[in-house]
């Protein structure tokens, strides 16, 4: 799971608001330029983001491992061409004669657009991984509450902070349950039974953590308007805003 790691990289020293704007501009540019040439340029830009955060692409991909099968499913499904018709000869299917028949084929050309779309989403995920790797949770909350004023912004800030802190704990709990099940010869059980055990134990732990979190928030006098870290734009943010302007300009042009 991707979490914040302290460091002194270029991305670490940027204001979180600059990084949020850079993410949004990159996503807009990636969806605006859908050609292979555009995605090649987007790949170079994404590699620059990873280098700025000193984040390995392999580590970023491991953080999004649960999402990768879904990205691969679109191109794989699109190449399968299944048809149903009537008649012993496919040429007579439209004539309505004969018994029903199936056809199965592979159309590689149909996978081009889904493959480009999945790759585009993958690049956006890699850029967002840099933000998660280089931005503390409190800074993210402060940036969101400055972008969205009022109670709505405070609600969004609290939600983001809790998600960033809660998801790694839930994944750790599920991993512990799986390891405990494997140590007790759970691998010899049927797959359906193993899934039920892991899911039930994971849900119990999730509700337990939620109850303890609510108690901890009350004990610490949780407030909607806490004292957040001060955010200041520096000289490096000027360079980041130039990158944002360039990406936004590519979308407009």
Give residue 199's pLDDT.
85
When pLDDT is cut at 50, 70 and 90, the band that residue 105 belongs to is low
Q: Residues 185-214: pLDDT tens digits?
A: 777 888 888 888 888 888 888 888 888 877
Quick one: average pLDDT of 17-28?
93
Annotated domain spans of the chain: 1-79+111-136+230-253, 149-228
Q: How far apart are the first and last CA of the chain?
A: 37
Quick one: average pLDDT of 38-64?
93
Give residue 178's pLDDT.
83
Give residue 96's pLDDT.
45
pTM of the model as a whole? 0.70
Shortest CA distance to 138 belongs to which of 229, 18, 4, 233? 229
Query: DSSP readout, 132-199?
Result: HHH--HHHHHHHHHHHS-HHHHHHHHHHHHHHHHHHHHHHHHHHHHHHHHHHTTGGGS-HHHHHHHHH
Q: Would you tell me how many other CB atoms lie within 10 Å of the CB of residue 126?
A: 21
Give residue 123's pLDDT.
94
Of all residues in the chain, the percent with pLDDT exceeding 70 is 85
**Cross-strand pairs, 85:** 101
Give residue 46's pLDDT.
95
Q: Which residue has the higher pLDDT, 93 or 61?
A: 61
Chain center to CA of 155 = 21
Residues 238, 18 contacting (CB under 8 angstroms)? no
């Amino acid at each position: 799971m991707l979490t914040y790691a302290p460091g002194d990289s270029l991305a670490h020293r940027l204001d979180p608001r600059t990084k949020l704007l850079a993410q949004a501009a990159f996503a807009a540019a990636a969806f605006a330029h859908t050609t292979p040439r555009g995605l090649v340029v987007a790949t170079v830009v994404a590699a620059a983001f990873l280098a700025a955060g000193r984040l390995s692409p392999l580590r970023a991909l491991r953080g999004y491992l649960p999402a990768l099968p879904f990205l691969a499913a679109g191109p794989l499904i699109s190449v399968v061409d299944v048809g149903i018709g009537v008649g012993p000869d496919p040429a007579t299917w439209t004539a309505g004669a004969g018994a029903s028949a199936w056809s199965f084929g592979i159309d590689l050309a149909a996978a081009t657009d889904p493959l480009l779309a999945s790759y585009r989403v993958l690049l956006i995920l890699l850029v967002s991984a840099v933000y998660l790797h280089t931005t503390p949770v409190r800074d993210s909350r402060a940036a969101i509450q400055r972008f969205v004023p009022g109670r709505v912004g405070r609600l969004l800030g609290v939600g983001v902070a809790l998600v960033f802190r809660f998801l790694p704990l839930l994944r750790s709990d599920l991993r512990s349950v799986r390891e405990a099940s494997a140590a007790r010869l759970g691998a010899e059980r049927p797959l359906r039974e193993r899934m039920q055990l892991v899911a039930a134990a994971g849900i119990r732990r999730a509700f337990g953590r939620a109850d303890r979190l609510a108690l901890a928030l009350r004990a610490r006098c949780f407030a909607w308007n806490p004292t957040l870290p001060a955010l200041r734009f520096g000289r490096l943010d000027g360079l980041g805003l130039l990158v944002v302007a360039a990406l936004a300009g590519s979308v407009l042009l």
